[in-house]
Amino acid sequence: MGNTDTTALGGINLDIYPGESLVIAGSNGSGKTIFMRILAGLLEPSGGEILFRGERLKKAARALRASVGLVFQDADAQLIGETIREDVAFGPKNLGFSKAECIEKVEYALKAMGLADKGDYLSRRLSGGEKRRLAVAGVLAMGCDTVMMDEPFANLDWPGVVQVLEIIRELKKRGTVIILTHELEKVLALAGRLVILHKGLIRDDGAPDAVLDRLNGEYGVRDPRRSCLSAADCTWLD
């Protein structure tokens, strides 16, 4: 896709299997967010096509929305409802579930994300980590069995990162998780499969250790499997 002389996203040929935990790593500008915006229907690819369960994206849009929950990089941009409960209710209402079904789905999602006691809190007052938790609750309430998160660790401190990792661990028990990030060191232990995206193309795809063993420095992704035994070892400078 892109205009005549640039390609933001070139070769994405990716089969995602139910129940897997996939990490797509790529440096700034590698195409992670564009990939997600196309899936969300916010951007049209200028070439190629995306199939969802064998159907073209436009035709499958509704099924995709009901199945794949997208959690955007900017948690604030995803807030819709004034309170946490209203926010989580937005998706299932939109999908046309009955009032009783909506209540059931919202309560399930709030509980799953540890927000059951906070339903009446104002959503905009939540911390960054809690806003991600809320965004995930929103997609769980829609019944999504797959959750895709774009840079879920952005701007979060250590406790916030831990909160998001706990969410990912929880999501792994419930379905498929896809994490788009350049912060591999935070999430690698939860990855069943690692994909490297660079300049809009998939450059590698496989078991995390195997992919890291053959990592090309050009991709701008750092192998995080280094340990620091002392402060002097703890640097990202080579």
Residues near ligand ATP, by CB under 6 A: 2, 6, 8, 26, 28-34, 43, 151, 182
109 binds, among ligand ATP, Mg ion, none (CB under 5 to 8 A by kind): none
Q: How far is the CB of 6 from ligand ATP (least distance, A)?
A: 6
- Residue 11 binding: pick among ligand ATP, Mg ion, none (C-beta 5-8 Å cut-off by kind): none
Residue 106 partner contact from Mg ion, ligand ATP, none using kind-dependent CB cut-offs of 5 to 8 Å:
none
The nearest distance, CB 20 to Mg ion, in angstroms, is 22
Select the binding partner of residue 41 from Mg ion, ligand ATP, none (C-beta < 5 to 8 A, by kind): none
SS (H, E, C) the chain: CCCCCCCCCCCCCCCCCCCCEEEEECCCCCCHHHHHHHHCCCCCCCCCCCEECCEECCCCHHHHHHHEEEECCCHHHHCCCCEHHHHHHHHHHHCCCCHHHHHHHHHHHHHHCCCHHHCCCEHHHCCHHHHHHHHHHHHHHCCCCEEEEECCCCCCCHHHHHHHHHHHHHHHHHCEEEEEECCHHHHHHHCCEEEEEECCEEEEEECHHHHHHCCCHHHCCCCCCCCCCCHHHCCCCC
- Among residues 14 and 95, whose Cβ is nearest to Mg ion? 14
If the CB atoms of residues 170 and 185 are measured against ligand ATP, the closer one turns out to be: 185
Binding interface with Mg ion (CB under 5 A):
32-33
